[in-house]
């Protein structure tokens, strides 16, 4: 007998006018299903979520990343998978981040050209709605360890992430890298 571990689920809460938070509520389907479900990015419009995994109609997920949009009546549409050219991940773990302009997608995944464990990659929205082949951010950011949880600031130049490939204070430490030129624009 192999015990079934609980899956990750999406929860939400609302801040009251006095600054306290309501009790957390479990998100209903389609955002939660029988697989691991988690939010990677809540976009500034407050109606769009980037979700880990590709959602399947039968109530489970496979490797990938999806977007979901809130309807007028506070219900969420069924998540739509992003079509990322030549997407694969050799790690059982991943994190994703969508820039506020919805044109840049960062990924913490492991591929054939990774320097160590998971590396940070970037992909750009194409004119046809698909996403470019993930491009490794290179040795200025990635190490022989793992880089995870990328977040790109609104200036599209400041990158925050965690890494265990640089000696720091703990297993994973938080780092910031600022591009001196519009780096992500130059990669397109």
57-80 pLDDT, tens per residue? 998 999 999 999 998 878 999 999
Q: Which of 30, 102, 96 is nearest to 68 (CA)?
A: 30
CB–CB of 71/56 below 8 Å? no
Dihedral through CA 83, CA 87, CA 92, CA 94, nearest 10? -60
Mean pLDDT of 180-186: 60
pTM over 0.85: yes
Give the separation between CA 6 and CA 58, rounded to whole angstroms.
19
pLDDT band at 166 (very low <50, low <70, confident <90, very high): confident
Mean pLDDT of all residues in the chain? Answer: 91
pLDDT given for residue 1 in this prediction: 47
Mean pLDDT of 89-107: 95
Q: Which of 151, 147, 140, 152 is nearest to 168 (CA)?
A: 147
Handedness of CA 109, 170, 37, 27 (dihedral sign): negative
């Amino acid at each position: 007998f192999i015990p079934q571990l609980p899956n990750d689920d999406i929860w939400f809460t609302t801040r009251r006018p006095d600054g306290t938070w309501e009790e957390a509520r479990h998100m209903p389907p389609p955002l939660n299903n029988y697989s691991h479900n988690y939010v990677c990015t809540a976009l500034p419009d407050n109606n769009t979520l980037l979700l880990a995994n590709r959602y399947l109609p039968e109530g489970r997920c496979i490797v990938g990343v999806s977007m979901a949009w809130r309807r007028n009546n506070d219900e969420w549409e069924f998540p739509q998978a992003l079509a990322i050219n030549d997407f694969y991940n050799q790690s059982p773990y991943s994190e994703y981040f969508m820039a506020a302009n919805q044109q840049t997608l960062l990924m913490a995944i492991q591929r054939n050209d990774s320097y160590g464990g998971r590396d940070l990659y970037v992909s750009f929205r194409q004119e046809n709605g698909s996403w470019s082949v993930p491009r490794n951010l290179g040795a200025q950011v990635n190490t022989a360890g793992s880089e995870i949880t990328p977040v790109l600031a609104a200036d599209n130049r400041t990158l925050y992430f965690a890494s265990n490939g640089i000696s720091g204070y703990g297993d994973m430490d938080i780092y910031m890298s600022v591009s001196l030129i519009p780096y992500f624009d130059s990669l397109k």
